[in-house]
Amino acid sequence: MRNRLCKIVATIGPASASPSMLRLINKAGVDIFRLNMSHGQHDKLTGVTKAIREIEKDIGTPLAIFADLQGPKIRTGAFANEFIKLRYGAEYKLVHSYESNDENVIPIPHQELLDVLEPGDVLKLDDGKLQVTVSERNSRHIIAKADTPGELKNRKGINVPGRRLPISALTEKDRADLKFALDLGVDYIALSFVQQPDDVKEARELIQGRAGIISKIEKPSAVEQLDEIVELSDAIMVARGDLGVECAAEDVPILQRKIIRTCRRAGKPVIVATHMLESMVESISPTRAEASDVSTAVYQGADAVMLSAETAVGRHPPTAVAIMDRIIAATENDEGSEGFHNYSSQDEDYTTADAITLSARRIAEVLDCKFAVAYTKSGSTAKRLSRDRPHCPIIAPTPEAQVARELALFWGVQPVVTEDIAHFHEMIEKADTLAKSNGGADGDRIIIIAGYPFGRKGKTNTLKISRIGAPD
């Protein structure tokens, strides 16, 4: 068991795709592996997935894998010399084309974007490094004025802050990648550039329960409908890269906190991503600001924090993971961490299962319990307990391998695949064994949660306080 409760996600790329490196970063602290479908080739991703499942088998711990779909990334076309120079205040034509030889034309191979642009709209190019503002549109093309000088290269991204685009969150490439990822057996699918709840519904119909859905919040329109998107999703990612381009820089920290709190209230896991330890792509240590950034996400109660280029193409993937692991553990040792805050509301309609897990949280705090052991078939018991944030790790025995891998994303949960229990004596005996195998000792207090009759879904109704090694 890890010495922390917040989970670590690592993006797999050329620097980390070998079986030996995958083992190293898992040992250093990776709980969830991200496959970036924007760059990954199917044959290589097949090998990566197989290697992760071998690691999982060898260490006896379920590991989660999610495929991150590229989404409808809007880009410029190609230029004659591979770039054009934008001159401050100069006017450029925006035309529907895949390429252009005119240095005063910006080709855009997305008619749907050109159809909705209006005078006053701002286009941020190349992750916000360059910017133009639409000044005029007519029947043939759109005129935009350059707000910043610089080189605009081929196929750079275009963001239009505040403008909802009439496009699906799933392109033809995404649909092909989705089918491949589901056949590969990934545990979650991450949807990029979600704009509205219908984008999640569309993906849900295609996935048909074969994987969970992680909705990436990176557009203002998604923030405006955050509650509905969270309700429809299995998890949320605060994708600060494009969110930081679409929104003002000063708004991103506030939005991050808002998204985390919304997810915490809904009991949905939330990942904070992008540029967390970015300097470690090259450096062997992070900046103080980066360490503080990771710590802030943990303080706010994120279920997981993510490494992107640091592990995909960085020079020191295991070191980046190890340092993130240490930052999380140090932050969680601070009693003032909001990560343990409970977001239950007096207005909620509580079920028996809610009462059981809320009681378990309080008992764990009062009695300083070593573990909470949450027997679960569907995963709901462990998820509820994770939402309530007990002051101890949660061991989640389940007979379902898919459920166990899904639970690997949840705060504090250590899933274990094991046969279902049949009676109370076995419930206590197995809880003792699992607690000891994860560092517990005779005499340590543990909480045991289960549903009776055993083996049924949705019947969390039993709580027992026990001591490891004590007679029944």
Residues 205 and 262 in one domain: yes
What band does 336 get if pLDDT is binned at 50, 70 and 90?
confident
For the chain, the domain total comes to: 3
**Which residue is listed with tokens 């969110």?**
243
The reply to whether 422 and 317 lie within a common domain is no
CATH number for the domain harbouring residue 135: 2.40.33.10
Q: How far apart are the C-alpha atoms of 337 and 238, rounded to whole Å?
A: 20
Distance from C-alpha of 175 to C-alpha of 215, rounded to nearest angstrom: 16
Is 342 inside any structural domain?
no
Instruction: Identify the residue whose tokens are 């286009």.
Output: 123
What pLDDT is recorded for position 185? 97
* pLDDT tens profile 256-287: 999 999 999 999 999 999 999 999 999 999 99
- Any idea of the CA torsion for 6, 272, 262, 158, to the nearest 10 degrees? -170
Indicate which residue of 34, 240, 377, 405 is catalytic: 34
Nearest to 402 by CA among 56, 140, 73: 56
Check which CATH number belongs to the domain holding 381 and give it.
3.40.1380.20
pLDDT the model gives residue 215: 98
Question: What integer pLDDT is reported at residue 346 of this predicted model?
Answer: 61
Task: Assess whether 83 and 67 both reside in one domain.
Answer: no
Decide if 20 is inside a domain.
yes
The whole-number pLDDT of residue 422 equals 87
Identify the active-site residue in 4, 124, 216, 240.
Answer: 216
Which of 2, 73, 75, 436 is labelled catalytic?
75
| Domain C-terminal end among 299, 332, 365 | 332
- What does the block give as tokens for 146? 């350059």
- Is there a single domain that holds both residue 231 and residue 258? yes
On whether both 101 and 25 belong to a single domain, the answer is no
Residue 109 confidence (pLDDT) above 70: yes
Please, what is the average pLDDT of the chain?
Answer: 94
- Per the document, the length of the chain is 472
Checking phi first, is residue 430 left (phi over 0); if not, alpha (psi -120 to 50) or beta? alpha
Is the peptide bond preceding residue 19 cis, with omega within 30 degrees of 0? no
Of 71-85, 96-110, 124-138, 346-360, least confident by mean pLDDT is 346-360
Residue 147: helix, strand or coil by DSSP?
A: coil
Tens digits of residue pLDDT in 431-470: 999 999 999 999 999 999 998 888 777 678 999 999 998 8
State whether 198 and 276 are in the same domain: yes
Q: Is the pLDDT of residue 345 over 70?
A: no
Per-residue pLDDT at 228:
98
Angle subtended at Cα 295 by Cα 289 and Cα 300, rounded to the nearest 5 degrees: 125
Domain final position from 159, 193, 223: 159
Residues paired with residue 443 on neighbouring β-strands, in sequence order: none
pLDDT at 101 over 80: yes
The active-site residue out of 11, 262, 274, 460 is 274
The answer to the question of residue 300 being in a domain is yes
* Higher-scoring residue by pLDDT: 45, 73: 45
Domain that holds residue 96: 78-159
Same domain? For 152 and 245 the reply is no
The count of other CB atoms within 10 Å of the CB of residue 345 is 8
Residue 467: enclosing H or E segment and its boundaries? strand 460-467
Mean pLDDT for the stretch of residues 127-141: 91
Task: Please indicate, yes or no, if residue 423 is contained in any of the structural domains.
Answer: yes
pLDDT at 50 over 80: yes
Q: Is 467 a catalytic residue?
A: no
Residues of the chain with pLDDT > 90, as a percent, come to: 85
Q: Are 95 and 107 in contact (CB under 8 A)?
A: yes
For residue 297, what is the domain's CATH number?
3.20.20.60
* Residue 216 bears catalytic tag: yes
Joined together, the tokens standing for residue 424 give 């109370």
Q: What is the residue type of 309?
A: A
Half-sphere exposure of 172 (CA within 13 A, CB side): 0
| Domain assignment present for 101 | yes
* 263 and 320 co-located in one domain: yes
Does 137 qualify as catalytic in the annotation?
A: no
- Backbone phi, psi, residue 101, to 5°: -100, 0
Instruction: Mark whether 249 and 192 lie in a shared domain.
Output: yes
- Asked, for residue 337, whether it belongs to a domain, the answer is no
Active site residue 73: no
* Residue tagged 């995963």 (tokens): 379
Shared domain for 39 and 87, answered yes or no, is no
Does 339 fall in a domain?
A: no
Q: At what angle do helices 352-367 and 380-388 cross, to 10 degrees?
A: 50
Residue 124 domain flag: yes
Instruction: Say what the pLDDT of residue 454 is.
Output: 85
Shared domain for 242 and 297, answered yes or no, is yes
State the pLDDT at residue 283.
97
Q: Tell whether 145 and 277 lie within a shared domain.
A: no
Domain end marker among 135, 159, 183:
159
